[in-house]
Amino acid sequence: MLALSLVAETSLLGRMILEKSIGLIAGPRGGGKSWLAMIIAYSVAAGKMLHPWGIGIGAGVVLLDGEMRAASVQERFRLLHAFNSDAESQALAQKNVQIISRDFVGDPIGSIDNEEGQRRIDELIPDSAKLVIVDNLSAWTSGGREDSGSWALIKNWLIKKRLRGIAVLLIHHTGKNGQQRGSSMHEDLLDYSILLSPLQSNTERQDTRFGIEHTKLRDHLPELRQKYECSVWNEGESLHFEIVPAGFMPSQHEIEMLRMRDDGTSMEDIGLALGISKSTVSRTLKKLRERTSETES
């Protein structure tokens, strides 16, 4: 094994979502799973920075949506797309995101826990796809089965995707115990697993808030051992979101500064946009990075 010359794995989003990787996001109903799935899909497709995971590669992403009305999916992506201020990145997103909606296409799409359904779904996935997001596992199985027999068929489908160099991210419900529902064998194949937990909404923003915890990381990613908190809210005609270490509460002004810097905006342009000096921007960003590091340690 040590003598082999293996091809380096391509990063799709930071060091966690890699080509061929298989991951899972689990959480309660209404707990932000679909929002996070869409944000990840958009970041990978549009080449955007998404803290804490890293920068998206700008690759083809297929979102299998089996639960929401097509109009709701459209509205969410419209709001998310409007939040992106970079024209080049917007063009990448429009090119790279493909949505397969069960509501729009109809039930004959099939399910991933039988071979005929897998064949029908695979026919809709373009060769350019590097990441397939299944939202959610129950909606894309016949009758919502989560037993070991059903999982065996799904597992074969996932392995076939891996062998083709395609990454898969599964979205799943948690049960009353706060853990993912169904067979414990779900975890065996996973490279990473993320557990979401609901948090109290900010009454001023009327946001959706949830905690993020990486409960399984096959690769050595110590920066992701920290718990995070995500807030998603509408502001005007666009969707806003922030993901910060648990206990770290930046101001709205600081959040905007961090977002602009992550988007590649120069410190001088950030200062002009926010009405402050370049040196103030530099000092503030330095303090924010230090506070983030202290919180994560």
CA-to-CA dists, residue 123 to 102, 182, 209, 226, 292, angstroms: 14, 28, 36, 39, 44
pLDDT in the model for residue 245:
85
3-state DSSP call for residue 62?
A: strand
For residue 297, the model assigns a pLDDT of 45
- How far apart CA 64 and CA 139 sit, in angstroms, is 10
Report d(CA 41, CA 81) in Å as an integer.
12
Torsion angle in degrees (nearest 10) through CA of 220, 59, 235, 53:
10
Name the residue among 285, 227, 280, 287 with its Cα closest to residue 261.
Answer: 285
Cα gap 102→133, rounded to integer Å = 14
122: tokens are: 């695979």
294 membership: H or E segment, kind and range: helix 278-296
Q: Are 205 and 233 in contact (CB under 8 A)?
A: yes
* pLDDT mean values, one per 10 residues, the chain (297 residues): 91 96 94 96 96 96 95 96 93 97 84 93 95 94 69 93 96 75 71 95 88 95 92 91 82 80 87 85 81 55
Return the DSSP state at 144: G
pTM metric for this prediction:
0.84
Smallest Cα–Cα separation from 193: which of 42, 65, 17? 17
CB atoms within 10 A of CB 275: 7
